[in-house]
Amino acid sequence: MSPTLPDQMRALIVASLEPDYGGVSVQTVPVPKPRAGEVLVKVKAASVNFPDLLMTRGEYQLKPPLPFGVGMELAGEVVALGEGVEGLAIGQAVVGGSRLGAFAQYAVLTKDAVKPKPAGLSFAQASAYGVAYLTAYVALVRRAQLQPGEWVLVHGAAGGVGLAAVDLAKVMGARVIATSASDEKLAVVMTEYAPDAVLNVTGGFREQVKAITGGAGADVIYDPVGGDVFDESVRCIGFDGRLLIIGFTSGRIPNVSVNMPLIKGFSVMGVRAGEYGRQFPQKGLENTQAVWDLADKGLIKPRVHAEFGLDQWREAFDMLANRKVIGKVVIVPD
């Protein structure tokens, strides 16, 4: 039996694209109704990703028409099913992804974007693994074709996508060097995820990476940072290595002189996990299933750094923007 649903809900809405989230506020809006093939979920937790922040300023690839609800991934309970939806039940705990609208009390998703919540994860943890681990999976498995025993240099290892890469690479049997600009963060990463080495990138890391890898350099470099970190990564990647471009949290988009990949025989690979799935739909389904299987079997450990209420959204956004997060920060709408 379907629960009685309210007519209105609270949601985080972007009304205009302005710096410092000037166009963002919590508003009362109608509860959406699921159409054919859609599911209405009561949101229990929704995790914050850098693209969410960028979209509030119009700086992300996706530029939805205004106004729009922000938030990409969530966990919650099914409260209504659109026509033709099978395989899900009212009251079922689920995880889901949508490009918009997760920071709200209720959210509509397509049936294909919803999966049962992994039993071993809390709602907060379940909301926090999808985007980060899917990015890591597409990068390490699909693009880099990472092999057991290879050296992986993971930059921004304390952030959501970086920590997911450390975790997944270890599951895949690789040897991992985790980097950050914070010794405090690296200590947590070492304690909870046991990479083979940690490096503070402040003051450079090229010689340390070469020393750790026996002079050969890293086989795979996972870089969500860009800027100076990318520049130095070019200097410590091994022959036939794969340099994975995840993003540019440093704020600077770097360049590479093409003679460097030529001389050192390495590849520079862009990673857009969502777009990969859109370009290759069957592989996209396989990727999502593989990540869900890892979570359901308890092989990966999504880390929730902090939880905030919907009215505390700015604190959550600022914590991520100011690099104060080890793992993910989560918004709990109620």
Within-domain flag for 93: yes
Give the end of a domain, one of 233, 260, 275.
275
327 and 195 in a common domain: no
223 and 153 in a common domain: yes
150 and 52 in a common domain: no
Strands 106-110 and 328-332: unpaired
Rounded Cα distance, 213 and 234, in Å: 15
179 and 93 in a common domain: no
326 and 259 in a common domain: no
219 and 175 in a common domain: yes
Q: Give the amino acid at 97.
A: G
User: What pTM was computed for the model?
Assistant: 0.91
257 and 192 in a common domain: yes
How many domains is the chain partitioned into structurally? 2
Within-domain flag for 62: yes
* pLDDT tens digits along 268-281: 999 999 899 999 99
In the chain the first and final C-alpha atoms are separated, in Å, by 23
Within-domain flag for 186: yes
* pLDDT tens digits along 29-88: 999 999 999 999 999 999 999 889 999 999 888 899 999 999 999 999 999 999 999 999
For residue 75, which phi and psi values (nearest 5 degrees)?
Answer: -135, 145
- Average pLDDT score over the chain: 95
* pLDDT tens digits along 71-95: 999 999 999 999 999 999 999 999 9
CATH number at residue 15: 3.90.180.10
156 and 51 in a common domain: no
246 and 143 in a common domain: yes
**How much is the pLDDT for 107?**
97
148 and 76 in a common domain: no
Cβ–Cβ under 8 Å, residues 136 and 57: no
Rounded Cα distance, 51 and 185, in Å: 22
Within-domain flag for 169: yes
Tell me which residue range forms the domain holding 252.
Answer: 132-275
CATH number at residue 215: 3.40.50.720
Among 201, 204, 193, smallest CA distance to 169 is for: 193
Average pLDDT over residues 8-15: 98
Alpha carbon separation from 274 to 61, 113, 172, 254, 307 (Å, rounded): 12, 12, 22, 23, 25
Rounded Cα distance, 34 and 67, in Å: 20
